[in-house]
């Protein structure tokens, strides 16, 4: 046994805190509630910020999506109509190159903006909700046209399909812009299918829950089914 083992430890050293955290007094119940309230407020502010961020992205989607369609459409049209007798496309000239440069620049800006948005709001429901609201608002607020003025299922399907296709076509293409026409067509088709599918489901659920008195009356008196 060494001399160090024989030296008794002082009471002060035995009671000294191991670290600075051990010396921190515990919070009172009220202080704990205050901290939790502040965390809840910060979380609510964060959700509100995501909602507004998503709303801004949705509004920008409409502008940039339409801009992409216009530029790529003009590029394609210029290429098709600008061919001279020798089969050389005017798209390779200065004007065509400028149009191509602007179109590619917008595609890159759209892809970059989307990547930043996804990185800023990973899995955020509030951001997705805000984006969806501003994406769909112009189409949901649009007045009914002559086709949809009727009350039949077919007219509603035509209206919802047209609105869904319009929604899809106004969305920006963020991937595989080399096949821009194909991607845009997929967006429009997906929107049309989603719009008509929603109308069909709505009609099914509405029909299953409508006029219960009439259905029960027909069940009791089958001969009155033609009423």
Tens of pLDDT, residue by residue over 199-226, are 778 777 766 555 545 444 444 444 444 4
Three-state secondary structure call for residue 152: coil
Q: How many contiguous H segments (helices) and E segments (strands) does the chain have?
A: 8, 0
5-36 residue pLDDT tens: 555 555 544 454 544 444 445 778 777 777 77
Closest CA to 59 of 120, 161, 137: 137
Cα(187)–Cα(52) distance, integer angstroms: 25
Rounded to a whole number of angstroms, the CA Rg of the chain reads 32
Note the pTM of the prediction, 2 decimals.
0.63
Cα(191)–Cα(182) distance, integer angstroms: 14
54 with 126: CB under 8 angstroms? yes
User: How long a stretch of residues is the chain?
Assistant: 227
Kindly tell me if the per-residue pLDDT of 113 is higher than 90: yes
Cα(157)–Cα(164) distance, integer angstroms: 10
73 with 103: CB under 8 angstroms? no
């Amino acid at each position: 046994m060494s001399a160090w083992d024989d030296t008794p430890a002082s009471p002060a050293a035995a009671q000294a805190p191991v670290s600075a955290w051990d010396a921190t007094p515990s919070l009172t119940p009220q202080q704990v509630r205050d901290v939790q309230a502040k965390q809840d407020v910060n979380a609510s502010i964060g959700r509100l910020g995501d909602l507004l961020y998503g709303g801004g992205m949705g509004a920008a989607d409409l502008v940039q999506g339409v801009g992409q369609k216009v530029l790529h459409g003009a590029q394609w049209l210029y290429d098709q109509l600008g061919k001279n007798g020798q089969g050389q496309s005017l798209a390779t000239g200065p004007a065509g190159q400028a149009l191509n440069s602007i179109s590619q620049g917008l595609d890159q800006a759209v892809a970059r903006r989307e990547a930043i948005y996804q990185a800023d709001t990973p899995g955020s429901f509030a951001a997705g909700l805000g984006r969806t609201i501003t994406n769909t608002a112009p189409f949901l607020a649009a007045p009914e046209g002559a086709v949809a003025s009727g009350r039949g299922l077919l007219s509603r399907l035509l209206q919802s399909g047209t609105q869904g296709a319009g929604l899809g076509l106004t969305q920006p293409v963020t991937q595989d812009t080399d096949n821009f026409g194909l991607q845009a067509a997929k967006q429009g088709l997906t929107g049309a299918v989603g719009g008509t599918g929603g109308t069909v489901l709505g009609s099914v659920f509405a029909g299953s829950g409508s006029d219960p008195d009439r259905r029960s009356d027909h069940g009791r008196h089958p001969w009155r089914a033609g009423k």
